[in-house]
């Protein structure tokens, strides 16, 4: 029998509406199972680890990412796959973080949740839960078919570190515009095997040390020197600069001088775009070629979530700086495509 390790962290999926106040309050995992009687008809052996207390994913922290990574490591040999029930708000951050922390992953780690509680008549939770379980247990030629950290939501399985939550109102809450959907579930579950990452004879190595010593500089026309200084002169070792279009910024002299000085003082500056589709192309316009020659790093088509968690992971590895910079600009878990 296929053995799946289920981790219940919380989120809307496990909430019930208090009949008196209308407020959503958490369910236990047993109550979840009562709401999905179909599970009893499925041929899986589920081992369940429930967080206590269960949390809204807005309270997620790097320490909890580490707890999840260790749970997976400790139960890796005995299980065919992992299913993590998680709130959708920060699911893309946790999935991205785990993709980096679980080096050499050879089994599925599937995140899912829902927009409506599992107890509600119109819930999207049941389908998400049941199909995610099916994908977590899928095999091809006797091997796990999707040995990646993924998010399953509303009929689609996405690579976790390519995904972001884009809609808080629709059941289709996630998108992954820069990487194809890995699996699509309709009448049949269609696996897009050509785009699913596979490692030959991989050995799992778990890295739980991550550093949150990063900052974010989101640009907008009219940004003041004081705001730029506040980020660049902070203690952060690395700064994600959310730029315009293909990685462009203002060419104002004061701005470029501040960026140059920050890099000279040892700061790492990673350029990602505010656009959700497409990639940073440093040097395409004059506005980004100056940045390139100063040593601003190209974040290519990484999501904000992947950029944050990749930096946290790489800083936590304590690599020498040149190695860290090389890895930042290279795909290490399928999180970016170079143009």
State which residue, 113 or 247, has the beta carbon closest to ligand ASP: 113
Task: Give the whole-angstrom CA distance, residue 66 versus residue 278.
Answer: 31
Query: CB within 8 A of 107, min separation 6: which ones?
Result: 76, 79, 80, 81, 82, 144, 147
Report the side by side order of strands in the sheet with 109-112: 44-55, 2-10, 81-85, 109-112, 149-153, 156-159, 183-185, 189-191
**How many CB atoms lie under 10 A from the CB of residue 87?**
24
Residue 94 bears catalytic tag: no
247 near ligand ASP, judged by CB under 6 A: no
State which residue, 132 or 268, has the beta carbon closest to ligand ASP: 132
Q: How many residues bind ligand ASP (CB under 6 A)?
A: 11
12 near ligand ASP, judged by CB under 6 A: yes
Among positions 99-158, residues that touch ligand ASP (CB under 6 A) are: 113, 115
CB nearest ligand ASP: which residue? 87
State which residue, 86 or 310, has the beta carbon closest to ligand ASP: 86
Q: Which of 2, 9, 12, 112 is catalytic?
A: 12
Quick one: which segment of 7-15, 97-105, 220-228, 234-242 binds ligand ASP (CB under 6 A)? 7-15
State which residue, 113 or 160, has the beta carbon closest to ligand ASP: 113
Minimum distance, C-beta of residue 134 to ligand ASP, in the bound complex (Å): 21
State which residue, 174 or 191, has the beta carbon closest to ligand ASP: 174
Binding mask 188-227 for ligand ASP (x = CB under 6 A): ----------------------------------------
Binding mask 67-96 for ligand ASP (x = CB under 6 A): --------------------xxx-------
Minimum distance, C-beta of residue 303 to ligand ASP, in the bound complex (Å): 17
State which residue, 68 or 231, has the beta carbon closest to ligand ASP: 68
Quick one: which segment of 9-17, 148-156, 207-215, 256-264 binds ligand ASP (CB under 6 A)? 9-17
Minimum distance, C-beta of residue 9 to ligand ASP, in the bound complex (Å): 8
From residue 122, give the alpha-carbon distance in Å to each of 119, 141, 183, 233, 315.
Answer: 9, 37, 24, 50, 43
Handedness of CA 308, 314, 317, 322 (dihedral sign): negative
Which residue from 35, 57, 161, 248 is in contact with ligand ASP, where contact means CB under 6 A?
57
11 near ligand ASP, judged by CB under 6 A: yes
Task: Give the whole-angstrom CA distance, residue 225 versus residue 243.
Answer: 16
Minimum distance, C-beta of residue 244 to ligand ASP, in the bound complex (Å): 29
State which residue, 108 or 113, has the beta carbon closest to ligand ASP: 113
Minimum distance, C-beta of residue 78 to ligand ASP, in the bound complex (Å): 28
Contacting positions for ligand ASP (CB under 6 A): 10-12, 56-58, 87-89, 113, 115
**What residues act catalytically?**
12
């Amino acid at each position: 029998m296929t053995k799946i390790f289920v981790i219940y962290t919380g989120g809307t999926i496990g909430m019930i509406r208090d009949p008196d106040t209308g407020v959503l309050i958490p369910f236990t995992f047993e109550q979840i199972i009562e709401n999905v009687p179909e599970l009893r008809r499925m041929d899986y052996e589920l081992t369940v680890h429930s967080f206590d207390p269960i949390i809204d994913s807005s309270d997620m922290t790097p320490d909890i990412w580490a707890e999840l990574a260790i749970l997976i490591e400790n139960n890796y040999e005995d299980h065919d796959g992992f299913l993590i029930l998680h709130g959708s708000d920060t699911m893309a951050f946790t999935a991205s973080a785990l993709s980096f922390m679980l080096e050499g992953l050879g089994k599925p780690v599937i995140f899912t949740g829902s927009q409506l509680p599992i107890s509600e008549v119109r819930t999207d939770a049941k389908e998400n839960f049941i199909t995610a379980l099916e994908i977590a247990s899928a095999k091809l030629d006797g091997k796990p078919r999707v040995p990646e950290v993924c998010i399953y939501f509303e009929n689609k399985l996405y690579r976790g570190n390519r995904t972001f939550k884009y809609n808080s109102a629709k059941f289709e809450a996630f998108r992954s515009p820069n990487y194809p959907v890995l699996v699509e579930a309709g009448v049949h579950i269609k696996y897009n095997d050509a785009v699913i990452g596979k490692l030959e004879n991989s050995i799992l190595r778990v890295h739980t040390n991550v550093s949150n010593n990063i900052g974010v500089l989101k640009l907008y026309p009219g940004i003041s020197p004081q705001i730029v200084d506040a980020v660049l002169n902070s203690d952060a070792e690395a700064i994600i600069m959310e730029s315009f279009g293909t990685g462009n910024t203002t060419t104002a002299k004061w701005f470029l001088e501040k960026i140059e000085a920050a890099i000279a003082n040892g700061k790492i500056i990673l350029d990602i775009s505010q656009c959700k589709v497409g990639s940073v192309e440093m040097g395409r316009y004059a506005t980004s070629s100056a940045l390139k020659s100063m040593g601003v790093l190209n974040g290519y088509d990484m999501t904000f979530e992947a950029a944050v968690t990749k930096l946290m992971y790489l800083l936590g590895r304590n690599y020498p700086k040149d190695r860290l910079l090389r890895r930042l600009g290279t795909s290490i878990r399928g999180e970016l495509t170079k143009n």
